[in-house]
Amino acid sequence: MTDELAYTQRVGEFRAARERIERSILPLASSVDGRRFRFQASAFALPAQVGGYVVLEGTGGGRLAQVTTLELEQDEVGSLGFDATDGTARVESRLIVRLARGSGALLEGEVAPFHDATVRAASPDEVRAWLDRAAAPRAQLDIGELALADGVPYSLDAGGFGRHTFLCGQSGSGKTYALGLILERLLLDTDLRVVVLDPNSDYAQMARVRKGTARDLAKRYRAAASGVVVRRGTRGPGRLAVRMADLDPAIQAAMLRLDPVDDREEYADLVSLVHEGGVKALSDLAVADDGAERAIVLRASNLGALDWQVWSRPGGPSFIDDLLDGDARFLVADLGSLPSREEQALAATATLNALWRRRADRRPILIVIDEAHNVCPSSPEDAVTAIAANTAVRIAAEGRKFGLYLLVATQRPQKVQENVVTQCDNLILMRMNSLGDLAFAHEAFSFVPSSLMERATTFRLGEALVAGKISPHPAVVQMGRRVAEEGGADVPATWARPGH
């Protein structure tokens, strides 16, 4: 036998011996508290991946559990001896085997320690049966399927939206689509009133049913969508417009860049004119000729505020009337239809301020802030946005007891006011490649295992990790089909066609 053939034979024997040992590793789990467990398993037969489901046998009946960490490790278990090719010596080779070690959380069963329970993969039927048992006696919002249990539908607990919710995902992750799906289900299956601050006109088509929707579902949705009202910045009825009188003095002053100390005379004149003189709109001052009014008009004119489209026409309706006294079940403020950033900021700030001002009504409302890094940023660029951010913080801290619930969505978690994020009890995390943003999210939502959050870097389009009061456990979900048309959309990449 040549040296080469002998070497090849020894390698084959080594591999065969190692594989026999690796395949013989029993999948066993132990727990000291009956809530969490650690396990080992063969690297050739992993019972589940991180976030997946297993059943632990020998614990007083099979118990469903979720794997939260999983690592491939190596252990030295001895050595193998081989004769040297020339027959003069005995060669010893260390035998290192690969195995999987991990940990997880028990999802059901008696809380009691156990040792050496066998671990096996859970079947989809077992996962589905547990979800049925774990469902709260409230409306369940069908949003898709579990990504790690084939064919198992998944629903969010509608009652969980009585706590603040944070939804984040980078551009292209499916964040806007997922938020629209959740809002549709709230519209269909609950009576909760919804107000949406929509900077990109993504939800302006919420009343329109997609082609191809099943007839029964389409009929039911059209009935529910009769309560959808969209206010846009276009001229005519149904405008997204506000009056000067709708705004608190602080917002009026911020809009005109008046400081209550440095500009105390103009500030006092403005308050007097609007709240004592009955001025409803800036246009009421356009023909002013006395000194106080004239100074304010000149300031507004120089800032371009007199020409803003967001102002209600004399005697016309205001969005704030719809918000506070209207009966619209689902009200969309299409901020994206307003032509300037200043007008968008003013409308958003007026909305949040009005809802907070009327908090004593105790009327349950879900306040949806999309692209929250613009509406309530961590570092506001102007005084009006700073008021919006501060109001959002107050709602986050105290709003729940008044029935004001936030659903905050963004691409950049670190750019949202931190005191808004940290008050959220629910997390919906979609694909996120920024390690800095993931670290920020993990610090804010420490109740979610970091290993599950790390999966977000590999999520496919429409996949999300959901956790908190809206879900009985941290679950990886593939979002399902929407019913309503999407509003905003990317520009088609027709320029990339072959031959161009």
Bridge-based pairing of strands 114-121 and 140-146 is unpaired
**What's the half-sphere exposure (Cβ side, CA atoms, 13 Å) at 278?**
2
Which 3 state secondary structure label does DSSP give 309?
coil
- Please tell me the predicted confidence (pLDDT) of residue 264: 78
What per-residue confidence (pLDDT) applies to 314?
A: 73
228 touches 206 (CB < 8 A)? yes
Helix H or strand E segment including 392: helix 383-398
Domain with residues 140-241+309-488, CATH architecture: 3-Layer(aba) Sandwich (3.40)
Q: Which of 487, 146, 441 is nearest to 332 (CA)?
A: 487
Distant-in-sequence, close-in-space partners of 21: CB < 8 Å, separation ≥ 6: 77, 95, 97
Helix, strand, coil tally for the chain in percent (to 5): 40, 25, 35
Distance (Å) of CA 213 to CA 121, 252, 377, 485: 35, 46, 37, 11
Which residue ranges make up each domain of the chain? 3-122, 140-241+309-488, 249-305
Query: How far apart are the C-alpha atoms of 214 and 6, rounded to whole Å?
Result: 67
* Other CB atoms within 10 Å distance of the CB of residue 224: 18
Closest CA to 399 of 419, 373, 427, 379: 419
Check: CB of residue 451 under 8 Å from CB of residue 52: no
The pLDDT value given to residue 51: 95
Spatial CA neighbour of 55 closest among 47, 64, 68, 66: 64
pTM of the predicted structure, to 2 decimals: 0.89
Nearest to 202 by CA among 488, 491, 481: 488
**Per-residue confidence of the chain (500 residues) as pLDDT tens digits?**
566 666 566 667 767 777 787 787 889 999 999 899 999 998 888 888 999 999 999 866 789 999 999 998 777 665 555 555 555 555 566 677 788 899 999 998 888 889 999 999 999 999 999 999 999 899 999 999 999 999 999 999 999 999 999 999 999 999 999 999 999 999 999 999 999 999 999 999 999 999 888 999 999 999 999 999 999 987 656 789 998 888 888 898 898 898 877 877 778 877 777 665 555 566 666 555 566 677 787 888 888 888 888 988 777 788 998 899 888 999 999 999 999 999 999 999 999 999 999 999 999 999 999 999 999 999 999 999 999 999 999 999 999 999 999 999 999 999 999 999 999 999 999 999 888 889 999 999 999 999 999 999 999 999 999 999 999 999 999 999 999 988 755 656 666 677 65
Q: What is the pLDDT of residue 46?
A: 84
144 and 478 in contact (C-beta within 8 Å)?
Answer: yes
pLDDT of 237:
64
pLDDT at 75: 72
Q: What is the reported pLDDT for 435?
A: 87
Cβ neighbours around 477 below 10 Å, total: 24
In terms of DSSP H, where are the helices of 214-369?
A: 215-224, 249-255, 264-275, 291-302, 319-325, 341-357
322 φ/ψ angles, rounded to the nearest 5 degrees: -60, -45
Sheet of 475-479, strands arranged across: 153-157, 140-146, 475-479, 463-467, 426-429, 165-168, 404-410, 365-369, 193-197, 330-333, 228-231
